[in-house]
Amino acid sequence: MTREELIEQIKIKKSFLCVGLDSDIKKIPTHLLRKEDPIFEFNKAIIVSTKAYAVAYKPNIAFYESRGAEGMESLRKTLEVIPKECFTIADAKRGDIGNTANMYAKAFFDKSSSGFDFDSITVAPYMGADSVKPFLEFEKKWAIVLGLTSNPGSIDFQQKELTNSKRLFEEVASTVKTWGTDSNLMFVVGATRGVDIAAVRKQVPNHFFLVPGVGSQGGSLSEVVEFGMNKDCGLLVNSSRGIIYASADVDFAERAGQEAQKLQLQMHDHLKTNKII
């Protein structure tokens, strides 16, 4: 998916919602366990109920890899039922270099090789340019680079002040943006501190942010918009548990759709206020 196509979907659906498919066999409704592929059936129902409100879907790859070949087959089938107009994110946080990075890229981008054709993948930049650039060699594919995360441990390294008075996460953003463009690079930016979102936005004014942490982790959608939105929206706000586990009963899909719609309506108002729609 191109940048222009993503922006167009945001305007059409009046939404910048990303639904995280962190699908845990221990948390899905028990009646699905009678199905041949419970995880796929769960994901398919969630997608059907939320596709009117979401512009992106983000399977967390660990939840599928942990189930071996069976889990990866669930993932493959899930990717097939996500509407083609939706942006797909392999939340894999890969971080190796050279040939290994290139093979990771093929694993998620090259359908003829692996069976997967994601639009993007999350990448850790700790090993430098050669841990990110292999993912940028695939046309119309994106690397979503970990910039500033919302977990408590982010303070251990990301918030460290450097000799140039920048914090490490600011230096990461300003350096990584030189490796690609705003049409193939995004940044993961956690939702829990608005002033830090603003600090990243200062470094990369035109790039999209993938923003976790709204909802169950305490992040505020209004604050994310205030400090992170740009003229093209520039945001994909992810919600996982708050949507997919809204109910553990037979109405789980209906409830997921209701929660997704609630967020979409808020997003509509923000897009309208900021004159994007």
How far the first Cα of the chain sits from its last, in Å, is 20
**Which residues on adjacent β-strands are paired with residue 120?**
89, 142
Burial category of 47 from C-beta neighbours within 10 Å (exposed 0-12, middle 13-18, buried 19 and up) = buried
- Nearest-angstrom CA–CA distance, 67 and 10: 33
> Are the beta carbons of 98 and 133 closer than 8 angstroms?
no
Residue 93 annotated among the catalytic residues of the structure:
yes
**Selected catalytic residue, list 11, 93, 106, 166:** 93
- Nearest-angstrom CA–CA distance, 95 and 131: 6
- Nearest-angstrom CA–CA distance, 240 and 20: 4
Burial category of 194 from C-beta neighbours within 10 Å (exposed 0-12, middle 13-18, buried 19 and up) = middle
> Are the beta carbons of 244 and 218 closer than 8 angstroms?
no
Largest CA distance in the chain: 58
Contacts of 202 (CB under 8 A, 6+ apart): 170
The three-class DSSP label of residue 148 is: strand
> Are the beta carbons of 2 and 140 closer than 8 angstroms?
yes
Residues with catalytic function: 93
